[in-house]
Structure 1
Amino acid sequence: MAAEGAAEEAEGRALMAALAAGERAALGRLVVRFGPPIERYAAQMLRNRADAEEIAQEVFLRVWRRAGQFDPARGTVASWVWRIAVNLCIDRRRRAGLRQFLGLEVAPEPADEAPGPEARLDARSALARTRAAIADLPARQRQALLLRALGEMSSAEIGAAMGCGAGAVDQLLSRARARLRAELGGAEEAM
C-alpha cells in the first residue's frame, strides 16, 4: 500500500512539473484523478451541485495558474490540491452566509421528492438523515470526515489540507464518527 502511495505521489509530482511547463494534458490527468472526489466533497460542504461544479472548476484553474508554486517539500500533490478545494469551499460558505445575513440570498428551489417504491423511499430517508447528521457536525469535523470519505485521504494528507496535524485529524474523525453513531444509531435500530 505504501509503495502504491509513493507511486501515486511520484506520478503527481511529474504531472505538476509538466503542468508548470505548460503541458495541458497534465491538467486533464489531474482533473481525472481529483475532479470527481473534489466535486462530491464540495457538493456535501455546500449542499449545491452547481456550486460544487464551480468549485471544482476553480480548483483546477488555480492548479493550472499556480503549478509552478507547488513545493513538494511542503506536502503532497494531493494535500496541495485538496487544500485549495477546502479553502474555496470555506470562502464560498462564508460569502453565502454573509449574503444570506444581508438578505441577498435567493431562497433555494424545493427538492423534487416524488414518491417511488418503498425501498427507494426508505433509502432516500436514510440518506437524508445521514446527510442532515453530517451537515449538523461542527465544520472542522465535517471537513475531516468528508475528506476521508470522499477524498480517500490519509490523516496526514487531511491534516495538510486543513492546516493541522494528523493527530488532530484523528481526533476530529473520532468525534465526528461518535456523534454520527449517536445520532443515527437509534434510527438504524428502528429500521
Structure 2
Amino acid sequence: MPPASQDDDAALLRGIAQGREASLAQLISRHGRGLTAIAARYLGNRAEAEDIVQEVFFRVWQNATRFDPARAKPKTWIYSIAVRLCIDRLRKLKLRRLFGLGAGMDAAEDVGDQTPATDQALADRQALALTRKAISALPDRQRMAILLAAVGGLETARIAETLDITPGAVEQLLVRARRSLRDQAALHEGPLR
C-alpha cells in the first residue's frame, strides 16, 4: 500500500463522518501499527497499547464529523487523541500501582525470541531492553515527543500540534530527551547509541 497522504486521510475521515465502515478500516490499516508502536513504547505494555488504539479509532468513528482540517492535519488529530489517551492511561496505571491494585507494567515485554541466541543477538536484546528502560524513565512529555519523532515519524511542527505546545518547546523536549538517553548510554558503555 502506498504511504498515506494527508489528503487521503482527510477523504477517509469524510467517509467515516458519513458512516462508511470501509473508510475506518482503511484508516486503521494506515495508522494502527504506528499508533500501537508509540502507545506500547510509551506505556511499556502492548496489551494496554492495543486497548488505547481501539479507543482511538472508536473516538475517531464517534467524532469524525467534528474534525476540522483548518485546525489540524488528519494524522495530527488522530495522534493527538492517542497522546491524550496514553497520558490518561499511564496516570491510571501509576495510581493503581501506588495503591497496589495492579501488577504494573511488564518492562520485559516484547524483548524478543527467548530461544538460545548468539552473543550478538543477546547483546542486541540487552541493548533494546536498556533503550526501552531509558525511554520509559524519561519525563512524560519528553518520552512522548521522542516517540512521536522516532516511531511516529512526525516532524517538529506536527509534534507541536499534537502536544499543543510550540515547535521551540518540542525542540527543547527532544534535546533534553536525547541528552538523557546519551547519558544513560554512557553509563551502560554505549548500548543506546
TM-score under structure 2 length normalisation: 0.88
Q: Could you tell me whether the CA contact under 8 Å between 2:13 and 2:23 is conserved in 1?
A: yes
Unmatched tracts of structure 1, length 5 or more: none
Give distance in 2, aligned partners of 1:22 and 1:100.
39
Moved more, 107-116 or 126-135: 107-116
Give distance in 1, aligned partners of 2:185 and 2:106.
27
Using the TM superposition, give the Cα deviation of residue 182 of structure 1 relative to its aligned residue in structure 2, in angstroms: 2.0
Instruction: Please point out which of 73, 78, 84 is paired with 2:75.
Output: 78
Distance 1:110 1:95, change over 3 A: closer
Letter of the aligned partner of 1:83 in structure 2?
A: S
Secondary structure of the residue aligned to 1:152 is coil
Which residue of structure 2 aligns with residue 30 of structure 1?
Answer: 27
Unmatched tracts of structure 2, length 5 or more: none
Give distance in 2, aligned partners of 1:107 and 1:188.
28
Distance 1:109 1:89, change over 3 A: closer
Letter of the aligned partner of 1:66 in structure 2?
A: N
Letter of the aligned partner of 1:169 in structure 2?
A: V
Secondary structure of the residue aligned to 2:190 is helix
Give distance in 1, aligned partners of 2:106 and 2:177.
29
Distance 1:55 1:110, change over 3 A: closer
RMSD: 2.2
Distance 1:109 1:77, change over 3 A: closer
Letter of the aligned partner of 1:188 in structure 2?
A: G
Query: Deviations for 1:121-160, whole angstroms, at most 9, x for unmatched residues?
Result: 1001111111111111111111000001111111111111
Letter of the aligned partner of 2:190 in structure 1?
A: E
Letter of the aligned partner of 1:19 in structure 2?
A: I
Give distance in 2, aligned partners of 1:109 and 1:86.
20
Higher helix share: 1
Instruction: Please point out which of 92, 95, 101 is paired with 1:95.
Output: 92
TM-score under structure 1 length normalisation: 0.89
Secondary structure of the residue aligned to 1:75 is coil
Give distance in 2, aligned partners of 1:164 and 1:14.
27
Which residue of structure 1 aligns with residue 123 of structure 2?
Answer: 122
- The answer as to 2:158 corresponding to 1:157 is yes
Distance 1:138 1:119, change over 3 A: same
Give distance in 2, aligned partners of 1:99 and 1:167.
34
Any residues of structure 2 matched to 1:111-150 within 5 Å, and which?
111=108, 115-150=116-151
Distance 1:109 1:143, change over 3 A: closer
Secondary structure of the residue aligned to 2:151 is helix
Which residue of structure 1 aligns with residue 185 of structure 2?
Answer: 184
Distance 1:108 1:168, change over 3 A: closer
Using the TM superposition, give the Cα deviation of residue 185 of structure 1 relative to its aligned residue in structure 2, in angstroms: 3.6
Distance 1:170 1:52, change over 3 A: same
- The aligned length equals 185
Give distance in 1, aligned partners of 2:107 and 2:129.
14
Moved more, 179-188 or 110-119: 110-119
Using the TM superposition, give the Cα deviation of residue 107 of structure 1 relative to its aligned residue in structure 2, in angstroms: 5.5
